Structure 1
């Protein structure tokens, strides 16, 4: 099987090797039941299980080991059956299922040879499981029996390694029995044996674990000199080795953490800062290593799941825009509610002049929510039609417009250039909303700059809205709207023209149109101090053109230019 062979060759390349193992497992299911094939399949699933277990995917690891066990039974190979039963038991141990560990390792006993390293490994795992089940004396008895057996068996090929493991485990048992001196004694013996293994496969993980356990006891007993000596030896191993297992060992984090704890107790601030930085660097290194070694072959196995996740992601985008719209509506509603409540309290204490300004603001506030609500309806329509591009464009322009309106919400007048920019944003939104590009032009003919002219906020917008929705929106040809602002003698004249059907066409007007014009007329009368002799608003409309004219005396604009 080419995939199996390639995965074996590439086993140092984690991601590529696992990917080929997985492909090989699927291809191999249909390749027959020859002995060679069954051995390859057993080996593939055993290796996949080891990888998944190493990176804490225990349920997945057990699944792979059980697949490997089924092939081992077909081969009737006792060594491979023992291998899979042991791996399943060990994975249950890592998962915390200690009773299940004991059960699986008991099943493995008939397949073990008396002097095999697998038997020793299995008995160590049994002792650890009993330890975690608080059966300390039973665990200790097994560990000591194993030491006696290893002392008499000089041919055991992993003898030195197991001495280190057993002494460390006995130290752990005495620690939990609160026999601290005995625990320290065995931790020291464990370190002594494990130091002789540095440079072999079973090196740093075992060694650093014992160093961490011993220094932890010294710290608990406030034996700071001994703790410092042991920990600095650990640092020497961490920084002096080039083995990847050392560089990314989780016990390194414990060593640096204990050094921080030690120097805090000794009140050496510089050393605390130094080893905190070491700890952070090691944590980043360990985290990056774990991410790079993530079990990415799950993506290959569950392609259908990925497609479903992509669909869910699209739905989440739509849900996001909908919730954003709901939030915006609620936010605006809250703003308007508190705005009106605040103004209502102030009106009671106002003079007649202040009341006039409050009425102006109240009338202005009746206009803003109307076209803001229409804009939100347009966004909602784009989302329903799954037109994400236009919805995004509309929402961006809407956000800019909303910001301007909120900035000006407490102002009766704003600089003319700000008002023109607000109108431009509004027209852009209506173009998107209608779905076609009508012509819109602005002509300014005044001696002062636009920044220096104070202009009634949102007084023109309702007429632009009427020109669009009750004028050019129903035209078959391209619509046209023009806005002109001119100074004539002591007045500034604003004209809004459109080539729509006109306000006299009863089929194209609505109650809202008339009501909106009445609101603007009331605002203008209040601005003019209810002077009915001043004709500031006129509308001329026929079937070819509608022209709205607003005339503001220069002194009136000057009087209101600083009112907020």
Structure 2
């Protein structure tokens, strides 16, 4: 909304009209009955049959929808569409009533927050600020339940605007500041702009002009970044009023002109009138009465295109005061009287207070004391009337809030009584079924206890089988290693044999230590594997090179795996693939952990499985690898113990671009344990 003066000659304040109150519904009436009952009330006040029929068709279409959150949103949307219809009939919005009732049944807090925001804004637009604040506070309460910071910031800003209208600046500041903190946390630019602009207006009202300027400048930057011309025009005007309050009139005029240009570009006549009046007042402060009169006359000319006639009365009053300063008393009195006539026609009581006060001052200046006294009496009469109206309005709104709360309490009390009766009725049924349920629980509990005990026995059996397989694994490895040492000693010199035996003894010590445990740290397994590869490389006269790659995110001290689980596949890759290559071979071992699974990939560029089998048949060897058979048995038991379908071994034959064998890839997937 564009800023406008609340009274001629007073400081301008901005009203931020945004976001969205409550209607209370008796829970023992059906929602459909409430809607039709509301329509009967509106029809009784003289509603047009056409509008009534259209609203009823809307209700029928909505009641064809399931009673879910989609219906709540449809009710809120239709309530917004027909808001003017219900306001004209001076009755509660039936769509929003049902939206509240259905949201309460569904415990749909977002629906309650949205509808209370709509109702609160509706009350505020009718100047029922006390009710509006009460409803917007309820919207904020339900918005907190949704944990939606955007909705909560919107509701808090709404409540802040209500309290600014009530001149409760401390409470208004608190709500807007909370909204600003939330909006900044989620980068909600719309609510940041609203909160910042509102805080600026609060500080301007409180006379903290420098602080207000800082807030308006921040809001202006945000509106410019969002390319919002209306927000830009509002903040430029606000800055003008702040600088005018600091008596920096030239700077104020510059901002008013920039705001005027923005409003002219939008063709916003209300904003144009406000800027003309502001410029007139500013030039009047500079005692440039000619320029001031030009702007006030321009405002009067544009007023015909503005619906709110209070601006016309304001312009006539401003012109009258300007003429009075120039000593043109007859013309001044004529313009002031014109302001009085328009204000009386449209019922602008606050404007009548100021207009009659101006007339009283002008009659006094012309020494017409009788008329001055009469005008002063009129001003005081309207001032008292305003106070009475405000008191009556506030009292009526407080009565409404009290009635709503009383009805809510009655509803809660009735609901509690019904719940107590229902509980008493169900108590006997519960007692009857409790023994049956207890008996069933005993049977089910016994079944699961026996099943759990059997599972523990089976798991223990599998662990014993696994230890037995480990016992087979280690002698097999030691036998192969001793055979290698034997061949190495006979084919090499004593110095290299000593080096080989030293590494072998270290490896044996690690094997004896590791095989005492079901799981060992990954770094220990890799250390023993590296010793084994060094021995095999010496044994094969460095016929291959190897690389072990462990993912960066793996901590070898924390990851636990079964001991000697990778070695058989490495051994197989060396003796059935790499040693038969005419050139130097390469062995790659890659390890990664995802969740509670470890994937170990052993890749060689050997001769491939098919050619290895042919060589084996030509040599007449029918021996099957004991290490591979034992390891496969271990993996099968690990799968059963952990109930892990992902545990497996896959062997892939690699080929080059021409389809020739290029080696073998073995992928082993195992469950792992962690120290922590």
Which category describes the TM-score, using the shorter chain as reference length?
Answer: 0.3 to 0.5
The structure number with the bigger radius of gyration is 2
